[in-house]
C-alpha cells in the first residue's frame, strides 16, 4: 500500500507513555513510509518540565519497544532534540509533521522556521486529544499527578 508521505516527523519527551502517545505514533505509521522521532534530551526536557523526567536512555528504550509493536515494518529513526525545533528544521526531505492539539503551535513554529531557512513547509497532521473516562486530557504530567509521582 502506498503511503501518503515518504518522510514524516514527530517529537516529544515521551516520559510516561500513554494512549495519546500511541495515537500519535500510530498516526505517523499510517501516513508515512519512514518516521523520524525527535526525543527531547535530558537537559532540554529539564528546561520546561516541572518534574524530573526519566533518563533519555530509558525513554528511548521504551519508545523503541512501543514502536516495534505499533509499526514493526516501518523504518524509524530516532534523534535527540536539544532545542524547540530539533531536526525538523534542517531536514529537507520531511514532508509532514504529526502533532496533537497541544503541540500544534510548535508544529506551526517549526514550519515558519523551515521557511526562514529556505525549506518547504511540511503538511501538518493533527490528532484529536485523548481523554480519560472523566474527560481529563491524558498527558505524562497528568498521569504523574494522579499517581503522586514527582
Instruction: Please spell the DSSP secondary structure of 82-146, one letter per residue.
Output: -SSSGGGGT-TT--EEEEETTTHHHHHHHHHHHHHTTPPPPEEEEEPPPB-TTSPBP-HHHHHHH
pLDDT given for residue 63 in this prediction: 97
Low pLDDT (below 70) residues in the chain = 1-2, 49-51, 130-150
Cell numbers that stand for 45 in this block: 526536557
pLDDT given for residue 143 in this prediction: 44
pLDDT given for residue 9 in this prediction: 99
pLDDT given for residue 132 in this prediction: 62
Residue span of the structural domain in which 67 resides: 5-147
Q: Could you give the number of structural domains in the chain?
A: 1
Output the domain CATH number for residue 46. 3.40.50.620
pLDDT given for residue 98 in this prediction: 98
pLDDT given for residue 147 in this prediction: 47
pLDDT given for residue 140 in this prediction: 52
pTM, two decimals, is 0.85
pLDDT given for residue 146 in this prediction: 45
Cα(111)–Cα(109) distance, integer angstroms: 5
* DSSP helix/strand/coil, 54: coil
* DSSP helix/strand/coil, 77: strand
* DSSP helix/strand/coil, 32: strand
Cα(73)–Cα(34) distance, integer angstroms: 10
Amino acid at each position: 500500500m502506498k503511503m501518503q508521505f515518504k518522510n514524516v516527523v514527530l517529537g516529544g519527551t515521551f516520559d510516561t507513555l500513554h494512549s495519546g502517545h500511541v495515537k500519535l505514533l500510530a498516526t505517523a505509521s499510517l501516513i508515512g513510509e519512514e518516521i523520524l522521532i525527535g526525543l527531547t534530551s535530558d537537559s532540554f526536557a529539564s528546561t520546561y518540565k516541572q518534574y524530573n523526567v526519566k533518563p533519555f536512555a530509558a525513554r528511548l528504550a521504551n519508545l523503541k519497544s512501543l514502536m516495534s509493536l505499533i509499526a514493526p515494518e516501518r523504518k524509524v529513526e530516532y534523534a535527540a532534540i536539544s532545542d524547540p525545533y530539533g531536526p525538523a528544521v534542517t531536514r529537507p526531505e520531511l514532508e509532514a509533521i504529526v502533532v496533537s492539539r497541544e503541540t500544534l503551535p510548535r508544529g506551526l513554529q517549526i514550519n515558519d522556521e523551515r521557511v526562514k531557512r529556505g525549506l518547504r513547509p511540511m503538511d501538518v497532521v493533527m490528532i484529536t486529544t485523548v481523554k480519560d473516562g472523566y474527560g481529563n486530557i491524558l498527558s505524562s504530567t497528568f498521569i504523574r499527578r494522579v499517581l503522586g509521582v514527582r
